Amino acid sequence: MRALFTRGSASLARDFQFVPKHSAPRTEDVTVLRKFYEDHGKIFVLTGAGISTESGIPDYRSEGVGLYNRTNHRPMYIQEFMKSSEFRKRYWARNYVGWPKFSSAEPNEAHKTVREWEVEGKVGVLVTQNVDRLHHKAGSTSAIELHGTGYEVICLQCKDFREDRHQFQKVLDDSNPHFMVEGNGNEIRPDGDIDLDPSQVEQFVIPPCPHCGGILKPDIVFFGDNVPKSRVEKIYESLSTCDSLLVLGSSLQVFSSYRFILRAKEQGIPIAIVTLGPTRGDTLASIKLTSRVGEILSLVN
């Protein structure tokens, strides 16, 4: 591996530098969340980037620590990726350098508690906005990845090619034998890429699809693109079988997730939100708790 990073002794799972300032959960909030958990037998759990900040992966919007609050960086849009080989080269070079750090992130108490709830039969469906596969690492086997995953690579042309991202890292290694970027503490971004100087990516080589020569991209729903209709319909169907909806660590700013809050409200399903900061769904929820997700969940059971 030629994309190297220096790391401190603390693991990413205990790196809270991207968690907004917060206080310990109030006793009454723990009681409220515990009652919500006990009163419902089939909970629709929707998770966002706010649960992965406790694993060292920043989110976009958190006050003071979110990517939008600290930098001028904006994520890659699908239109940019599709129209320009230079945009694709920049994206893949950054993703290549960021992959070792992104893929080494470990699940935290939030992911582990949701998994425990699954085992107990309390989770009707788990939907995550995150592309980091931390729910899978925690043992969840049925998580629906609303925005896809950074752990698989697909071809946009033939639709037949699909490769594990770890394996594709080796392909990129072989395609870029002289590409050397040593770790300097650069910060990982929510989708796994790292900021690089333009001069560092000029010579980066992206291999084409080995089946058809088409464009390869991670199996992520980029900004400006749509979640597949079949995935949305599957989630709507699952929601109709649940008796409650619990949002964990999401601001619900993107419609792709907010639509499920609207549907739950239409169906009269109780909604609870646990996150740090305001959300788009606050006025629709019967319970809104401002708390670090992993901390309060660990106190509920």
Residue-range domain boundaries for the chain: 25-300
CATH domain 25-300 topology:
Rossmann fold (3.40.50)
Q: Consult the annotation and say whether 293 binds a ligand.
A: yes
Q: Consult the annotation and say whether 244 binds a ligand.
A: no
Angle at 33 between CA 248 and CA 292, to 5 degrees: 45
Residue 270's pLDDT is: 98
Q: Give me the catalytic one of 40, 135, 136, 147.
A: 147
Residues 94-118 as b or e (16 or more Cβ within 10 Å = b): bbbbbbbbbbebebbbbbbbbbbbb
List, for the chain, all residue ranges whose pLDDT scores fall below the cut of 70: 1-22, 59-74, 182-193
Q: Consult the annotation and say whether 218 binds a ligand.
A: no
Residue 116's pLDDT is: 97
Q: Consult the annotation and say whether 233 binds a ligand.
A: no
Residue 196's pLDDT is: 80
Q: Consult the annotation and say whether 130 binds a ligand.
A: yes
Question: Is 147 annotated as catalytic?
Answer: yes
